[in-house]
Structure 1
């Protein structure tokens, strides 16, 4: 499976946000809404 740099970057950003904010109802939609 090959990922583009954009996809891997997006995954890293989401994963990092979860680690920092904690797994409190974090969804991709809410994350993008605050960015």
Structure 2
């Protein structure tokens, strides 16, 4: 029981971290595009 709960928790944690990383990458890319446009 505990093991399966722990497994589910760690899986969702990994998904959350991946989502945050993806959001961060998108933000960085959009900022680079804006800087290129400004130049």
TM-score normalized by the length of structure 2: 0.47
RMSD: 2.5
More helix by share: 2
Q: Which runs of 4+ in 1 moved over 3 A?
A: none
Q: Give, in whole Å, the separation in 2 of the partners of 1:21 and 1:14.
A: 11
> Quick check: 1:5 aligned with 2:14?
yes
Q: Which runs of 5+ in 1 are unaligned?
A: 25-35
Partner of 1:28: none
Q: Which has the higher contact order (CA 8 A, sep 6+)?
A: 1
Q: Give the drift of 1:6.
A: 0.4
The structure whose Rg is larger is 2
